[in-house]
Amino acid sequence: MTALVARGGVPYLSQRGKDDGIGGRVTGFALFMSQILRRPGQVVALAPSSPALCAEMTAGLDPHKGPVIELGAGTGVITQAIRDRGIAAHHVHTIEMNPSFHTHLQDRFPGVHHHLMSAGDVGDLGLTDVQAVISGLPLLSMPLGLQRAILGGSFAQLATTGRYVQFTYGPTPPVAKALREEMALDWEQSTKIWRNMPPARVYRFFKAGPTR
């Protein structure tokens, strides 16, 4: 399988292929591109997240803390970064609503819990002490009610020190202002990550309070 490798030697465009049924291998990148064309309103990206963005999204994850939930896992570039931080497969839960991406994730990451469902139902996982919810969702383009279900379900499972991590290509925090106020969310933000297409910023949201 041809592997396109980004600067620094980190595999970027090509991940383990998936049989295309006609003797070839479909790379994660090719699958991502095909799904952009089929479901542009769901994927909402020009390309999978770059190694630099994946590294920032997963910074601070601790193999000795609780589970990690990933929302909108796509072809698994962030899932791989989560695993590379030493998080055990059985402590990782991906949520993806696109059946083609879900099947690809199952092939690529055995042992991880993969859920084919809407991120709006994340609260149904019923986990506790989650150390981070890491979201590749196009959150700001979603209706307020869906954002509320995603953030509410996430914070119901996050540990008190847990973070909801979300990237954005835009200039404002990627959770609707009304919801940030309603849920008393505070946040930290990264510097702009230029080595991504388009450049992005990572926000870590947490419940405002003295112990956070």
Q: What is the largest CA-CA distance in the chain?
A: 58
**Minimum CB distance to ligand SAM, residue 20 (Å):** 19
| Residue 56 sits in the site that holds ligand SAM (CB under 6 A) | no
| Residue 78 sits in the site that holds ligand SAM (CB under 6 A) | yes
**Minimum CB distance to ligand SAM, residue 110 (Å):** 19
Stretch that binds ligand SAM, among 16-24, 39-47, 180-188, 196-204 (CB under 6 A): 39-47
Q: Report whether 112 contacts 50 (CB < 8 A).
A: no
Q: What angle do CA 149, 150, 154 make, to 5 degrees?
A: 110
Q: What CA–CA distance (Å, rounded) separates 193 from 53?
A: 7
| Residue 174 sits in the site that holds ligand SAM (CB under 6 A) | no
Stretch that binds ligand SAM, among 8-16, 95-103, 169-177, 203-211 (CB under 6 A): 95-103
Burial state string for 71-104 with b = 16 or more CB within 10 A and e = fewer than 16: bbbbbbbbbbbbbeeebeeebbbbbbbbebbbeb
Q: What CA–CA distance (Å, rounded) separates 116 from 114?
A: 7
**Minimum CB distance to ligand SAM, residue 98 (Å):** 4
**Minimum CB distance to ligand SAM, residue 210 (Å):** 33
Question: Residues 17, 51, 67, 72: which binds ligand SAM (CB under 6 A)?
Answer: 72
| Residue 153 sits in the site that holds ligand SAM (CB under 6 A) | no
**Minimum CB distance to ligand SAM, residue 211 (Å):** 30
Tokens coding 36: 């952009």
| Residue 164 sits in the site that holds ligand SAM (CB under 6 A) | no
> Total residues contacting ligand SAM (rule CB under 6 A)?
22
Is residue 60 left, alpha or beta, with left meaning phi > 0 and alpha meaning psi from -120 to 50? left
| Residue 202 sits in the site that holds ligand SAM (CB under 6 A) | no
What type of residue is 78? I
**Minimum CB distance to ligand SAM, residue 137 (Å):** 5
Determine how β-strand 68-71 pairs with β-strand 130-135: parallel
Residues that bind ligand SAM (CB under 6 A): 42-45, 48-49, 72-74, 77-78, 95-98, 101, 118-120, 136-138
